[in-house]
Amino acid sequence: MTTYQLTKPIRSKIFNYRQTVSAFNIDFFQKSTCDCRLSTFCDAQHKHIITGDLRIVKNKQLRELLRKGPQYRELQPTNWKHAFESVKEAVENYIDKVSKKEKLAKILFREWKTELLQLVTDRIKQLRKQRVNYRAYSLYKPKLKQQCIIDELKALHEKYVLVPIDEASKNVAVICKRFYLEKILAEIGYYTPSDTYKIDDKFDPSELIDSQCKVLKEDYNIDVADNMKKLPFIYWIPKFHKNPIKQRFIISSSYCCTKKLAKLLCCALRL
């Protein structure tokens, strides 16, 4: 049986909203500025850059990559040597398994193994000939592994936050970083009191995590794994279908104390 493993989509590399929120420093934020008003991509209502127009990305290769969407998987070069070694390893594992089960000496499989691996070698040579542009294909390097693209994306992340778009998650939005964080502060009640959130200057994350784990165990008999003993984070995605553009705030995380309870609740709500 032959199996294939898909490479990861580009989502985790192009989106930086989690890193932006995690690295947030209020003192640095208050001293920071932006030059959005000088840009043609500045939103008229918000006076900051918040756009889905990827022409804002100057590097053509990076711009075309972002246009493919966060679920796009980059083409990977074929490593024929690695492919051959994988087949060879699988054959050797099969011989070990059969020889133990049937109580046969491994040397009895030598001729069969040699002939089989020769067939694999011949097949690889045949596949190479079928690729007219084999050399170019084999030397292809994914864009997100090219240093010039890495540097360009890093520069983009320094000024902007890249996020998916509400109700159009296969598209990428570019938002002024200062504006993005400013909206989060407003949402949690930093500027004016909030009915939803309360600021706690004596907040201790470890104490809250321990408290949540205790409640989950005592009230719901849910054990929280060590790698899940984390708190979720807040971020937002733009609602371009609204005028003026609005925000959809989301509090979530792939790893957090309440993840298991949230999954159970979602299943219950589907009934």
Label residue 157 by pLDDT band (50, 70, 90): very high
Label residue 112 by pLDDT band (50, 70, 90): very high
Q: Provide the pLDDT for residue 224.
A: 95
For tokens 């205790």, the residue is 214
154 pLDDT exceeds 90? yes
Q: Provide the pLDDT for residue 135.
A: 53
47 in Cβ contact with 37 (< 8 Å):
yes
26 pLDDT exceeds 60? yes
241 pLDDT exceeds 90? yes
Task: Give the CA distances from residue 32 to residues 19, 27, 29, 37, 158, in Å, rounded to whole numbers and listed in that order.
Answer: 17, 9, 5, 15, 12
Q: Provide the pLDDT for residue 3.
A: 63
Q: Provide the pLDDT for residue 200.
A: 80
Q: State pLDDT tens for residues 53-67.
A: 999 999 999 999 999
Label residue 98 by pLDDT band (50, 70, 90): very high
Task: Give the CA distances from residue 57 to residues 28, 41, 63, 109, 236, in Å, rounded to whole numbers and listed in that order.
Answer: 26, 11, 6, 58, 21
Q: Provide the pLDDT for residue 131.
A: 59
Q: Provide the pLDDT for residue 198.
A: 86
**Which amino acid type is present at position 213?**
C
From the centroid of its chain, how far is CA 34? 27
Average pLDDT over the chain, rounded to an integer:
91
More confident residue, 91 or 271: 91
Q: Provide the pLDDT for residue 117.
A: 96
User: Measuring CA to CA, which residue among 16, 30, 15 is closest to residue 178?
Assistant: 30
Q: Provide the pLDDT for residue 141.
A: 82
pTM: 0.81
From the centroid of its chain, how far is CA 27? 28
188 in Cβ contact with 85 (< 8 Å):
no
Q: Provide the pLDDT for residue 83.
A: 86
79 pLDDT exceeds 90? no
Count the helix, strand and coil residues of the chain and give each as a percent rounded to the nearest 5.
50, 10, 35
Q: State pLDDT tens for residues 244-264.
A: 999 999 998 889 999 999 999
Label residue 271 by pLDDT band (50, 70, 90): confident
How many whole angstroms separate alpha carbon 257 and alpha carbon 255? 7
Count helices and strands (H / E) in the chain. Answer: 11, 5
149 pLDDT exceeds 80? yes
How many whole angstroms separate alpha carbon 172 and alpha carbon 66? 7
Contacts for 75 with CB less than 8 Å, ≥ 6 apart: 140, 142
Label residue 138 by pLDDT band (50, 70, 90): low
Label residue 77 by pLDDT band (50, 70, 90): confident
Q: Where are the alpha helices (DSSP H) in 73-204?
A: 80-102, 110-130, 134-138, 147-159, 177-187
Q: Provide the pLDDT for residue 137.
A: 55
